[in-house]
């Protein structure tokens, strides 16, 4: 029995990117080395801090940070998958008549898989050398990753739709990335913002989709949450709202960018 | 679905916004958004000033034809092809592929038509030729067995089988062009578009590619082919019909022969003589010929030793040449050879697109 055509198309994209990646041997080696150097450098830095992060996750700082860094590694490549998109390839691929969804998922799948592969040594090194304590709930982790992927694909489609028009960086993704560093809680729990800035400052964070990506992943990997617990379920549903909004908005923005570029005749331009 | 025409356009208009504003500090400089105004400009509609790439193009291509679109740079050839293959959206008019509206049914259109665009390579340079084709076969939705058979057939068809497992970056320009053709043929569509199919190829590769298009794709596989080209020899040699596009308008559309002949009111008639010395009687003959109705000009070919080599006469294209021969032979001149110089497609093209003076004075 053959796989569905759409799945085969996504696999084709992934295979193409994987084979292409394996031909860049120097890049391949440096990326793998970066995984180890990255986790050690963050780990050593965090080991000196070793603050408790009891407010949100009941965890030590190194565990909190490691999960955050690992999740961050999942986020960034999704945008990078589109940044590498060659406009010449874009024209040719669009002439095959594939659907927008397949096109978008196909283009980020390899980078996403690579990110997950990167995630594993982070955890192994963190647990083995820095005594990271994970308290994972597998079903909620799977749901967290699924919701995160949906949010990130939505953002990636917005980013690509705009980038097809601007031929450069897009202002929305740029703004979100800048805000992410401050508000999404990569290196500290967002609740600290209330202490650093003013009471209630952390409210801003919850309007950023990335905050939910980090939060849901940390929640599911550090606190062993049950999805049957209503308070946990509500948090997952709140995060899912972003996915439900961002996916169709992303699709619309992507289509808008594509049509705008076709009307202007700039689809194949850099 | 059967349609009367493989390709049909009706009053097709395409305007492109010029990039003049972007260089004037409006916040959209060099394609980068630098100000809030630049951000807003993304969301506004397309703004002028515009350049009209196509200005009411009407075209009909019948099934099975090889149809050439000729035109100088900037005439709108690539725009026309990109509209047909759904990569550019037109502003006014209609365009149909096998009766399907390209704007309303782009996915169905792409099942009827594939294009080979030289600038849109779309291949991954790090993969082999076969791996690149396998990737596109998946995107076209071909089944595994069908894809393998099709790829093997196309690699053989284009003579690339021996190099199929070499990296694409090792391919010559000719091989890259052939791989483009393979990709376009993966989904066997009845209509093929080629934008400058032989540009950048050496003469032997270009001839091989032309043969592939003409003999195998058009005549053997009965595909409709629309190609744009600067190469007038290519158009005259391959095309059943051609359209000459100039500044966004079709200024001539017919068979290559009809375009050649209908463009000119006259033909050039050349007579070469045997061992003749140019004398007074020949001067009188030239005067007599010039006075004949239908003769536009007479040019004797006399060398410095007064040898009368031949004579060149521009006449109405429908003129009876026997009257001219009577005038010549009664002077006792012996004729070695008679030639009628044919106008070429290049003559017609030049006359139509940029040199209107050649419309009447071709061959002078």
Query: What is the least distance, in Å, from the CA of A91 to any CA of chain B?
Result: 7
| Residue in A with minimal Cα distance to B121 | A88
Region at A235 (left for phi over 0; alpha for psi -120 to 50; beta for the rest)? alpha
| Residue in B with minimal Cα distance to A12 | B135
Measured in residues, chain B has a length of 364
The pair phi, psi for residue B145, each rounded to 5°, is -65, -45
Contacts of B119 in chain A (CB under 8 A): 88, 268
Region at B25 (left for phi over 0; alpha for psi -120 to 50; beta for the rest)? left
Predicted confidence band at A256 (pLDDT cuts at 50, 70, 90)? very high
- Torsion sign (Cα): A123, A124, A127, A129: negative
What is the per-residue pLDDT for A60?
A: 82
| Residue in B with minimal Cα distance to A256 | B43
B323 touches A at CB < 8 Å: no
Of A88, A97, A265, the CB nearest to B110: A97
Of A95, A166, A171, the CB nearest to B114: A95
Report helix, strand and coil shares of chain A as percent, to nearest 5.
75, 0, 20
pLDDT (tens digit per residue) in A46-105: 655 656 566 678 788 888 888 887 787 776 666 555 555 665 678 888 888 888 778 878
Q: What is the spatial distance between Cα A12 and Cα A6, in angstroms, rounded to a whole number?
A: 10
Query: What is the least distance, in Å, from the CA of B120 to any CA of chain A?
Result: 5
ipTM of the complex: 0.74
B74 touches A at CB < 8 Å: no
- Mutual orientation of helices B129-139 and B144-157 as an angle, nearest 10°? 130
If one compares A109 and B165, the residue with the highest pLDDT of the two is B165
What is the per-residue pLDDT for B323?
A: 87
Q: What is the mean pLDDT of residues A256-268?
A: 86
- Torsion sign (Cα): B34, B35, B37, B42: positive
Q: What is the mean pLDDT of residues A157-182?
A: 75
> Could you say which residues of chain B have pLDDT below 50?
1, 20-35, 38-39, 42-43, 357-364
Predicted confidence band at A198 (pLDDT cuts at 50, 70, 90)? confident
| Residue in A with minimal Cα distance to B180 | A92
What is the per-residue pLDDT for B82?
A: 93
Burial of A204 (0-12, 13-18, 19+ CB in 10 A): middle
Q: What is the spatial distance between Cα B364 and Cα B353, in angstroms, rounded to a whole number?
A: 19
What is the per-residue pLDDT for B236?
A: 87
If one compares B291 and A191, the residue with the highest pLDDT of the two is B291
Residue A20 and residue B183: Cβ atoms within 8 Å?
A: no
Contacts of A92 in chain B (CB under 8 A): 117, 120-122, 136, 183
A157's CB contacts (< 8 A; 6+ apart) are: A100, A104, A247, A250, A251, A253, A254
- Mutual orientation of helices A171-183 and A138-166 as an angle, nearest 10°? 140
Query: What is the least distance, in Å, from the CA of B166 to any CA of chain A?
Result: 13
Query: What is the least distance, in Å, from the CA of B245 to any CA of chain A?
Result: 19
What is the per-residue pLDDT for B66?
A: 95
Between the alpha carbon of residue B23 and those of residues A212, B18, B20, B43, B78, the distances in Å are 41, 11, 6, 19, 25
pLDDT (tens digit per residue) in A6-45: 888 889 988 888 888 887 777 777 777 777 776 766 666 5
- Tell which of A8, A10, A13, A92 to mutate to test the B interface (max B CBs under 10 Å): A92
B42 touches A at CB < 8 Å: yes
**Dihedral angle, C-alpha A136, A141, A145, A150, nearest 10 °:** -150
Residue A95 and residue B42: Cβ atoms within 8 Å?
A: no
């Amino acid at each position: 029995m053959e796989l569905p055509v759409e799945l085969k198309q996504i696999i084709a994209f992934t295979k193409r990117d994987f084979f292409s990646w394996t031909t860049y041997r120097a890049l391949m080696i440096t990326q793998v080395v970066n995984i180890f150097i990255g986790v050690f450098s963050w780990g050593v830095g965090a080991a000196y801090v070793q603050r408790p992060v009891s407010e949100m996750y009941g965890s030590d700082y190194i565990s909190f940070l490691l999960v955050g860094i690992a999740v961050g590694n999942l986020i960034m490549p999704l945008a990078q998958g589109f940044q590498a998109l060659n406009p010449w390839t874009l024209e040719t691929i669009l002439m095959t008549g594939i659907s927008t969804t397949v096109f978008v998922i196909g283009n980020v799948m390899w980078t996403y898989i690579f990110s997950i592969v990167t995630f594993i040594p982070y955890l192994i090194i963190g647990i083995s050398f820095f005594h990271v304590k994970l308290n994972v709930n597998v079903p909620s982790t799977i749901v967290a990753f699924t919701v995160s992927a949906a949010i990130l694909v939505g953002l990636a489609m917005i980013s690509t739709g705009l980038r097809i028009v601007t031929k450069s960086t897009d202002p929305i993704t740029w703004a979100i990335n800048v805000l992410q560093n401050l508000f999404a809680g990569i290196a500290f729990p967002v609740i600290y913002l209330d202490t650093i800035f003013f009471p209630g400052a952390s409210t801003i964070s919850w309007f950023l989709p990335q905050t939910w990506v980090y939060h849901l992943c940390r929640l599911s990997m550090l606190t062993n949450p049950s999805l049957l617990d209503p308070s946990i379920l509500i948090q997952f549903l709140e995060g899912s709202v972003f996915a439900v909004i961002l996916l169709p908005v992303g699709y619309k923005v992507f289509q808008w960018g594509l049509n705008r570029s076709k009307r202007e005749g700039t689809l194949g331009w850099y | 679905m059967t349609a009367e025409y493989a390709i049909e356009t009706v009053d097709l208009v395409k305007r492109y916004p010029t990039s003049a504003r972007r260089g004037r500090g409006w916040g959209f400089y060099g394609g980068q958004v630098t100000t809030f105004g630049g951000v807003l400009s993304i969301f506004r509609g397309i703004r002028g000033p515009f350049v009209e790439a196509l200005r009411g193009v009407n075209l009909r291509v019948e099934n099975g034809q090889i149809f050439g679109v000729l035109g100088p740079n900037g005439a709108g050839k690539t725009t026309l092809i990109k509209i047909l293959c759904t990569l550019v959206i037109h502003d006014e008019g209609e365009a149909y592929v096998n009766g399907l509206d390209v704007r309303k049914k782009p996915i169905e259109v792409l099942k009827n038509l594939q294009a080979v665009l030289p600038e849109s390579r779309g291949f991954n340079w790090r993969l082999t030729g076969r791996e690149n084709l396998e990737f596109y076969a998946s995107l076209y939705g071909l089944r595994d067995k069908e894809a393998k058979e099709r790829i093997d057939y196309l690699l053989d068809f284009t003579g690339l089988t021996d190099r199929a497992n070499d990296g694409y970056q090792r391919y010559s320009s000719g091989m890259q062009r052939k791989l483009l053709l393979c990709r376009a043929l993966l989904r066997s569509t009845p209509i093929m578009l080629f934008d400058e199919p032989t540009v950048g190829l050496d003469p032997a590769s270009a001839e091989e590619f032309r043969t592939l298009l003409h003999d195998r794709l058009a005549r053997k596989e009965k595909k409709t082919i629309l190609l744009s080209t600067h190469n007038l020899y290519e158009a005259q040699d391959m095309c059943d019909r051609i359209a000459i596009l100039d500044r966004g308008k079709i200024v001539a559309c017919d068979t290559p022969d009809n375009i050649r002949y209908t463009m000119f009111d006259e033909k050039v008639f050349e007579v070469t003589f045997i061992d003749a010395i140019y004398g007074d009687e020949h001067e009188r003959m030239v005067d007599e010929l010039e006075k004949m109705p239908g003769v536009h000009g007479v040019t004797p070919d006399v060398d410095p030793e007064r040898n009368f080599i031949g004579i060149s006469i521009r006449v109405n294209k429908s003129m009876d040449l026997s009257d001219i021969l009577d005038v010549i032979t009664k002077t006792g001149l012996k004729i070695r050879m008679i030639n009628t110089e044919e106008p070429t497609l290049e003559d017609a093209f030049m006359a139509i697109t940029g040199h209107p003076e050649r419309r009447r004075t071709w061959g002078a």
